[in-house]
Amino acid sequence: MARSLRIAVVGHTNTGKTSLLRTLTRDTGFGEVSSRPSTTRHVEGARLLADGEVLVELYDTPGLEDPIALLERVEAIEADAGEDKRLDGFTRIERFLQTPVAGRRFEQEAKVLRQMLASDAAFYVVDARDPVLAKHRDELAILANCAIPLLPVLNFVLDPAADESSWREALARLGLHAVVRFDTVAPERGGERRLYEKLATLVDEHRPALERLVASREREAQARHAAGLRVLAELLVDVAAARATVAADPESIRAAVAELHEKVRRREQVGVDALLTLYRFRRDDVDAAALPLLDGRWENDLFNPETFRAMGIGLGTGAAAGAAAGVGIDLMLGGLTLGTAALLGAIAGGGWQAMRQFGDRVVERLRGQRELSVDDGILRLLAVRQMRLLRALEARGHAAIAPIRLVDPAEKQWREGPIPEPLLRARAHSDWSALFEPRADGPGREETVTALAERLANAPEG
């Protein structure tokens, strides 16, 4: 293809044109956005890239502010004296742009029209909360004269004040039947794909480029998801593998418990920060409230029994008799356990390492020392909590967030099902935990993290 697809983003003033550009370009600093009308008074462009290749150019334009007077002006343009013909709409627009008034009173509108003429297609952004007025009809009549395909984009459709059907009807009357709903600030899941697919029906020769763009965007999202799961898997392996040796007297146990608590807490925060970075989340983002965090941190402490109850893990889950027993120990030792769970895990994890670890333990027992490790309940809680955060981050920017289902199958699996095998394996390798330096980065750890991330990705359905 010789040239990338050029799209003008047009619309009445203050309908969210710049927001649409920000969302499609993933560039939150593009242009200037405010609730104030006529914020954008210039034409500013951005190229959409997929794998480093320019596929689409988008141009943000000023809002059309006085379409009624503009249409009157355009319609008043007559053929020159020598010409013996009726002027078509396109010629009128061209001639209008040469008139002096296009540089003065209608400067803003002229910019829009010039950009329309230089583009292959246009998005006509509609604030669906506005009633359909004569000025909008006149606006569409002018834009139709520019002779490029126009795709109306209904913004703010999820607002209770939105009147989508009136808009659709009015647009259909003007011959605009391809219409797409796209909330520019919080698009629905798959909204971007629908937007480009609709656009492809209007500019068929650019369909391959648009398909590549969609594929690239979806691939990016999947890659980010996979990386998120890996962050989560690393956290779980670090915590599951953590083990501290303590003398058997209550004083040392208390001190060691406090230390391990702090280490696990800090490690969880590292995971949270990594997820926030991965999803390019900033504290001042508009949707900060949509995350289950307070100022970038979980509100409830990990080792607070109340947190367990809130997340549905604990004595109340009934069916999880085994887990309940584990939590019993938790409540006594604040989420940590002396030996048993880790030992069982070590044996289940198997292999030479486990035997060696077992030997180490016997020696420690003989020396009057005990081992402290993080209980299964905490692992479950961490998994559930971080998965929720991941989901919230992915749903972010996507409207119609379904309320978090308390019986999410993946969560249920983590709450009540057996601890996955890779974590049991991690139990047997205290040297895999980053909680205690130095961490040994054998291939075994990598494999375990990968296996766990896969397990998290393929959580059983239903």
Partner 1 sequence: MILHSPDSLRLSSFELRWLAEALRRREERSGPLEDREAVAAACTAGGGLEARVLRRAQVLGEREGLAAGVTSWVGRARLATLLLGALALASGFGAAVAVLGDGTRAVNVVWALGGLLGIHLLSLLLWLAGLGLGGRDGGGLLGRAWLGLSSRLSGARETVDVTQALVGLLGPPRLLRWWLGAVTHGVWLAALAGAVVGLIVTLATRRYGFVWETTILPADAFVRAVRLVGGLPAQFGFAMPDAEAVRASGDAVQSGEAARIAWSSWLLGCVVAYGVVPRLFLASVCFGLWRSGRSRLRIDVALPGYAVLVPRLMPASERIGVTDADPGRMPGPHVEGRRSGGTGRAMLVALELAGQADWPPPLPPGASDAGVVDSREDRKQAVAALRADPPARLLVACDARQSPDRGSLELIAELSRHANDSRVLLVGAGQMDAGDRRQHWRDGLRGIGMASERVDDNPARALAWLGATEREDG
Integer-rounded Cα Rg, in Å, for the chain is 30
* Residue 266 makes contact with partner 1 by CB under 8 A: no
Please choose, from the candidates 204, 211, 202, 3, the residue with its C-alpha nearest in 3D space to the C-alpha of residue 121: 202
Q: Which residues, in sequence order, are bridge partners of residue 155?
A: 127
CA dihedral 209, 210, 215, 220 (to 10 degrees): 100
Size of the site for partner 1 (CB under 8 A): 73
Of 5, 7, 33, 48, the residue at the interface with partner 1 (CB under 8 A) is 48
Of 1, 2, 3, 52, the residue at the interface with partner 1 (CB under 8 A) is 52
Of 37, 208, 292, 409, the residue at the interface with partner 1 (CB under 8 A) is 37
Nearer to partner 1, 114 or 388 (CB): 114
* Residue 132 makes contact with partner 1 by CB under 8 A: yes
Chain centre to alpha carbon of residue 382: 21
Binding to partner 1, residues 269-298 (CB under 8 A): 274, 277-278, 280
* Residue 231 makes contact with partner 1 by CB under 8 A: yes
Cis peptide before 438 (omega within 30 of 0): yes
Contacts of 325 (CB under 8 A, 6+ apart): none
Of 304, 355, 446, 460, the residue at the interface with partner 1 (CB under 8 A) is 446
* Residue 330 makes contact with partner 1 by CB under 8 A: no
* Site of tokens 């005990």: 370
Shortest spacing between CB 57 and partner 1, in angstroms? 7
* Residue 450 makes contact with partner 1 by CB under 8 A: yes
Span of 55-63, 286-294, 388-396, 425-433 interacting with partner 1 by CB under 8 A:
55-63
* Site of tokens 């009540």: 416
DSSP for 366-382, written as a single string: HTTEEEEEE-HHHHHHH
Nearer to partner 1, 38 or 201 (CB): 38
Of 133, 172, 248, 355, the residue at the interface with partner 1 (CB under 8 A) is 133
Shortest spacing between CB 455 and partner 1, in angstroms? 16
* Residue 448 makes contact with partner 1 by CB under 8 A: no
Compose the 151-190 pattern: x for residues touching partner 1 by CB under 8 A, - for all others.
--------x-x-----------------------------
* Residue 13 makes contact with partner 1 by CB under 8 A: yes
* Residue 451 makes contact with partner 1 by CB under 8 A: no
CA dihedral 33, 38, 40, 41 (to 10 degrees): -160
Please choose, from the candidates 389, 368, 364, 382, the residue with its C-alpha nearest in 3D space to the C-alpha of residue 435: 382
Of 78, 131, 258, 266, the residue at the interface with partner 1 (CB under 8 A) is 131
Q: How far is CA 300 from CA 170, 266, 305, 310, in A?
A: 51, 14, 10, 9
Shortest spacing between CB 142 and partner 1, in angstroms? 12
* Residue 457 makes contact with partner 1 by CB under 8 A: no
Buried/exposed 93-124: b ≥16 CB within 10 Å, e otherwise? bbbbbeeeebeeebebbbbbbbbbeebbbbbb
Of 7, 10, 20, 25, the residue at the interface with partner 1 (CB under 8 A) is 25
Binding to partner 1, residues 184-223 (CB under 8 A): 217, 220, 223
Please tell me the distance from the alpha carbon of residue 255 to that of residue 333, in angstroms, as a whole number.
12
Binding to partner 1, residues 88-107 (CB under 8 A): 104-105, 107
**For the chain, how many residues are written?**
462
* Residue 441 makes contact with partner 1 by CB under 8 A: yes
Burial of 49 (0-12, 13-18, 19+ CB in 10 A): middle
Shortest spacing between CB 279 and partner 1, in angstroms? 9
- Sequence letter at residue 376: D
